[in-house]
Chain A
């Protein structure tokens, strides 16, 4: 919920207070990242002309009980539009996972298709874990469908809304991850006589190393987990 505070005096304390009042309602937010919800598609840049949602996909907050993708009201109405939203190919069992920018005591997580609730998870007022995932069965549905999810907050009148467009077909699960990029080139080899300052990157024995502070004559790989040379991974 947003409250506006007018500042009679520009004291540091007043600035601090307004800073945190303005930012605190924006903290306890979230949305579905996988399969990508409409706000995630916008934030990814896969859909153009989404408006302000790209700055805060986590803020689709509205009073409980709406069946609209933006939760009702005028904010982020783009999410309700019948655009050609990209779909994610899935099977009958879908794992929905959420980005939470802060956690908040939760009553239920609900999933709907076409007005029918297909899944509900009751957290009974508890704080969600840092990572929230739900396995939901699509109940035999196929083809192009839109799932509406609602994260119902326990101690306010509000909920967070996320619509997810799916293409339900043959095979199971979410699409496979993208192929891995090749290892980076090794770059400058480490020299025992050279002086390196914090941030410097060198290669040694097929791996890249970054100096955490000034060093000379210390072999990468011998300085331990918290020593001066931090392993940046394989190269070549």
Chain B
């Protein structure tokens, strides 16, 4: 229980300022696994890119949770609300998996190097606290379009991360996660683009 509390604190500190979203202590045994579920721990050697990819995926999911919660509750279209809910569920599950892997390796959930590199990106992130707040003040069809565009932009970032891992990563399990992320998120982007184009 204490370790889970520490995890919650670390995840909250890693937040880009959005709401806490779905982070919560899980003192239960892991949920029933299906054939497609990723392993609880990772076997085999790994390199710095593997660690960085997992840390960045956590950092990527954090602002997405706040965005998806807005979409789930405020979107005008039912299909947009439904998709936001599904994505939130999937990302929450992935956050748990990735957290478990980093823990098993004894690696921090947040990279100190990552915090500095944010400034070196050369462009501001699209999903800061202000952007989420601005979105929250919109309504109607304008909200739906803005939400979808922001989500699509954010998901393109996940694809970039996944493809970077595929190129430079070492560990087979982590590269497998990246490959699934690449395919799954691009399928999501296809669906989201169709929704926003009407």
Contacts and interface: CB of A to CB of B under 8 A. Distances in A.
B43 interface: no
Nearest to B143: A131
Contact of A33 (B24, B111, B135, B193): B193
A167 interface: no
B contacts with A: majority SS: helix
The interface centre, meaning the residue of B25, B135, B153 with most chain A CB atoms within 10 A of its CB, is B153
B117 A131 contact: no
A103 B164 CA distance: 21
A129 interface: yes
Interface in B168-198: 168, 186, 189-190, 193-198
B198 A34 contact: yes
B89 interface: yes
B93 interface: yes
Interface in A193-236: 197-200, 210, 212-214, 226, 228, 230, 232-233
Interface of A: 10-13, 15-16, 18-20, 22-30, 33-36, 40, 43-45, 54-58, 88, 97-104, 127, 129-131, 133, 174-178, 180-181, 183-184, 197-200, 210, 212-214, 226, 228, 230, 232-233
Interface of B: 20, 22, 24-32, 47-49, 51-52, 77-79, 81-82, 85, 89, 92-93, 96, 111, 113-114, 117, 120-127, 131, 134-135, 138, 142, 145-146, 148-150, 152-154, 156-157, 159-161, 163-164, 168, 186, 189-190, 193-198
